[in-house]
Amino acid sequence: MRPAILNPLFAPATVLPGVGPRTRPAYERLAGPLVVHLLWHLPSGLIDRRHAPKVAEAEAGTTATLTVRIDEHKPSPDRRRPTRVHCSDETGALTLVFFHAKGDWLRRTLPEGSVRIVSGRVERYGGELQMAHPDHIATLDERESVQTVEPVYPLTAGITPKPLVRAVRAALATAPSLPEWIEPRLVEARHWPPWNRALEAAHAPESTADLEADTPARARLAYDELLANQLALALMRRSARRGRGRAIAGDGRLRARVEEALPFRLTEGQRRAADEIAEDLAQERRMLRLLQGDVGSGKTVVALLAMLIAVEAGAQAALMAPTELLASQHAATLGALLEGSGVSLALLTGRDKGRAREETLAALAAGEIDILVGTHALFQKGVDFRDLALAVVDEQHRFGVHQRMLLAGKGPAAELLVMTATPIPRSLVLTAYGDMDVSRLEGRLPGRGAVATRAMPLERLDEVVAAVRRALDTGARVYWVCPLVEDSETVDLAAATDRHERLQETFGARVALVHGRMKGAEKDAAMAAFQEGAADILVATTVVEVGVDVPAATVMIVEHAERFGLAQLHQLRGRVGRGTTPGTCLLLYALPLGETARARIAILRETDDGFRIAEEDLRLRGAGELLGTRQSGAPAFHLADLAAHEALLATARDDVRLALERDPELESERGQALRTLLYLFERDMAVRYLRSG
């Protein structure tokens, strides 16, 4: 049960002034549906209205708060021209300008002969000092309420500044005084204010310095959020570990046979990761391990060696991939490596129907299939293993936590290995995968061709097509990636379907097309044509981003590269140079090129280290966008900025470990405060992992 003291914060935002049925959807888009979400919506700027010069001293282009006498109203002669209100003080004249304002409202608000406070941006027009639509109009008695520093909040369509400020202030008024959940010595050492005062200070910046991430108020709030995240992950991890696993140890015969058949020796990174997984599997406690590998680091082989331990022990293993394309490719790759080993492998996707599917399911239940590869179809009802000992989830960010747990639940205490070919920054590993042990697979497989990265503007498209023709004459195969499937009236980007048609005009039937909206059979046919050489150019959307393996492909062209993230561009580049022939990655961009896009391209040309690229991507884009927060189940941080607060994250992790060692079920005074913290940041699920929760 959520502590009653938090109930006012978890009321719908519609209880706040100005948030009604009409504006509710806009507030939900901007911050969230609850009062507490407006507390997390911090200012991104400020307007200093304390500057109160005489009219003659007011500088054009600045915000000023002026005290003026209202001299004369000049109504608008027609609807296209504004109403002007002439004002003055003892030093000079000022004209207030209003478009589409009702005359009776203006006369009531600014009666001739009265003295008023007006605050807004001052401009000079035709030699005349003007203020168009003042932000504030007030009487002398209200001077103090106007002459302040005003926070500026991020907005969305349907919300204007004044009502938002009013709603935030009302939300702040509901914030209760809460017990301290941070270690007192840390609060003292960092000079952090209590939670309430930190909130108030963060929403009332006095200068631009107060908007920085490392101010005491903002750093404290960020730490609160990171502490809640790390505590929730620690409790989930402990709960998963409490469930008894099974010790799985094979005799090594199948692994030795597969290693002998490999066309290369395992890299040092592969050997280390395989040993870490084998050690985990041999323990009684359940394995929860993340294997993250850079492009071309050979994680599929590591996963196979892990699955063979389960098979050697007389049990079964499963490998789940996010798409039918990837699942089919995994099945083909693993099948080739297992040839002659006596290990039975099968493929199961949502496309399998009728008798063939029934036969696969019967063989699986009877234990006649050792390794099952498939899509999300694997965790559906009716898919029963005789003895599933290890579940491997590939490209795990495409699946939620619930889905991977469903697969692991197909066997009694099945071990879980999740993999990603997208290198993840260390801070994101801690916040999104802190419930897991991590194996980091660095370096490329020996014999892989190097990839040269070049960039040029889209205006030179004719030169690119000519270069493609020359590459095809040498036997090369080419990926051509576009960001959209078909033309959009609102976004002027190359579309895969349109580019396919245009390239077909030049190269004829040598051009195939693949995108996410095609039916499975169509996609498979296009990919097969490219893999087998019936097509030399594959025009695609980012469906080819991860895992697609065509060693003969040596050229990657990315159209509108400025629209892609760094890690995504690195993944696309990783589709070429997979054989022994060097590859080329050509990034085509539209002019003018923005600063962030320019930085991305420069980093890609400078390095092919996926882990460094991931860190730079985090710095340029932020955590939510990088992980695809909604689909990954990763936390969406409101207050913490992982690039700015990485040191706080490490502190929070250490703090949680110590807190749980001293008070495992959070029953002490601080423990109860930490429970409140979990509820405050909507980590309610984690409280259920406490025995007395």
Closest by alpha carbon to 453, among 545, 558, 549, 541?
558
Is residue 171 located within the same domain as residue 183? no
Q: Is residue 478 part of a domain?
A: yes
d(C-alpha 89, C-alpha 65), whole Å: 13
Looking at residue 416, what is its pLDDT?
Answer: 86
- 471 lies in a domain? yes
- 468-475 long-range contacts (CB < 8 A, ≥24 apart) are 468/507, 468/537, 468/555, 468/557, 469/506, 469/507, 471/554, 471/555, 471/584, 472/507, 472/510, 472/536, 472/537
Q: DSSP 3-state assignment of 498?
A: helix
CATH code (residue 59): 2.40.50.140
Strands 371-374 and 316-320: parallel
How far is it, in rounded angstroms, from Cα 58 to Cα 602? 44
Give the C-alpha distances (Å, rounded to integers) separating 459 from 50, 560, 592. 50, 11, 11
pLDDT, residue 121, reads 95
- Considering only CA atoms, give the Rg of the chain: 31
Cα separation, 666 vs 689, whole angstroms: 11
If we measure between CA atoms, which residue out of 209, 214, 195 comes closest to residue 45? 209
Q: Are residues 294 and 350 in the same domain?
A: yes
196 phi and psi, to 5 degrees? -60, -50
pLDDT at res. 631: 35
Sign of the Cα pseudo-torsion (468, 470, 474, 475, in order): positive
What pTM value is reported for the model? 0.71
Which residue, 416, 441, 466, sits at the end of a domain? 441
Q: Are residues 393 and 541 in the same domain?
A: no
Sign of CA dihedral 644, 221, 30, 633: positive
DSSP, collapsed to helix, strand or coil, labels residue 215 as coil
Task: Report d(CA 465, CA 482) in Å as an integer.
Answer: 15
Nearest alpha-carbon partner for 294 in 439, 455, 480: 439
State the maximum Cα–Cα separation within the chain, in Å, rounded to a whole number.
100
What are the backbone angles phi and psi of residue 648, rounded to the nearest 5°? -65, -35
The angle at the Cα of 208, spanning 207 to 213, to the nearest 5 degrees, equals 115
Check which CATH number belongs to the domain holding 493 and give it: 3.40.50.300
Q: How many whole angstroms separate alpha carbon 38 and alpha carbon 574?
A: 42
Q: Specify the number of domains making up the chain.
A: 5
- Coil, helix or strand at residue 40: coil
Residue 292: strand pairing partners: 420, 440
pLDDT of res. 403 = 58
Q: Are 577 and 556 in contact (CB under 8 A)?
A: no
**Token code pair at residue 229:** 């995240």
Residues 508, 548, single domain; the answer is yes
Pick from 190, 179, 260: nearest CA to 670: 179
Q: Residue 627 falls within a domain, yes or no?
A: no
Choose the final residue of a domain: 563, 589, 621: 621
284 and 371 housed in the same domain = yes
Closest by alpha carbon to 556, among 571, 547, 567? 571
Q: Are residues 402 and 518 in the same domain?
A: no
Residue holding tokens 């939620």?
A: 400
| Amino acid identity for residue 304 in this structure | L
Give the phi and the psi of residue 216 in degrees, each rounded to 5.
-55, -40
Tell how far CA 9 is from the center of its chain.
Answer: 26
Do residues 176 and 8 lie in contact, with contact meaning Cβ atoms separated by under 8 Å? yes
Give dist(CA 153, CA 169) in Å, integer.
12
Question: Considering the domain boundaries, does residue 64 fall inside one?
Answer: yes
Phi, psi of 127 (to 5 degrees): 80, 0
Report if residue 629 sits inside a domain: no
What pLDDT, on the 0 to 100 scale, is given for residue 620? 76
Closest CA relative to residue 36, chosen from 138, 160, 135, 178: 178
Query: Taking the chain, what is the end-to-end CA distance rounded to the nearest angstrom?
Result: 9
At residue 543, the 3 state secondary structure works out as helix
Is there a single domain that holds both residue 42 and residue 73? no
Among residues 441, 469, 502, the one where a domain terminates is 441
Residue 674 CA to residue 404 CA, distance in Å, equals 28
Within a 10 A sphere around the Cβ of 602, how many other Cβ atoms? 12
Q: Does residue 99 sit within a domain? A: yes
3-class DSSP state for residue 253?
helix
CA distances from 475 to 13, 472, 480, 535, 581 (A): 62, 5, 16, 11, 11
Q: How far apart are CA 364 and CA 386, in angstroms?
A: 7
Residues 6+ apart with CB under 8 A from 508: none
The pLDDT of residue 398:
55
CA dihedral for 575, 428, 277, 691, sign (positive or negative): negative
* 25: containing domain: 1-46+154-176
Let me know whether 375 and 287 are in one domain. yes
Distance CA 673, CA 668 (A): 9
Q: Do residues 15 and 111 share a domain? A: no
CA dihedral 318, 323, 324, 327 (to 10 degrees): -40
pLDDT at 204: 95
Kindly give, in sequence order, each residue whose CB lies less than 8 Å from that of residue 521, ignoring residues fewer than 6 positions away: 351
Query: What is the structure's pLDDT at 480?
Result: 94
Cβ neighbours of residue 568 under 8 Å, at least 6 residues apart?
542, 545
Tokens of 373: 């590869």
92 located within any domain: yes
Q: Are residues 299 and 434 in the same domain?
A: yes
Q: Are residues 380 and 417 in the same domain?
A: yes
Peptide bond into 592 cis (omega under 30): yes
Q: Per the domain annotation, does 114 fall within a domain?
A: yes
Low-confidence ranges of the chain (pLDDT < 70): 243-244, 396-408, 435, 447-448, 484-494, 543-548, 621-636, 691-693
Residue 339 CB burial class (10 angstroms; 0-12, 13-18, ≥19): exposed
Do 494 and 395 lie in one domain? The reply is no
Pair of tokens at residue 681: 């940041």
β-pairing verdict for 371-374 and 345-348: parallel
**Cα–Cα distance between 465 and 4 in angstroms, integer?**
66
pLDDT given at position 402: 57
Give the pair of three-digit tokens for residue 677: 């913290």
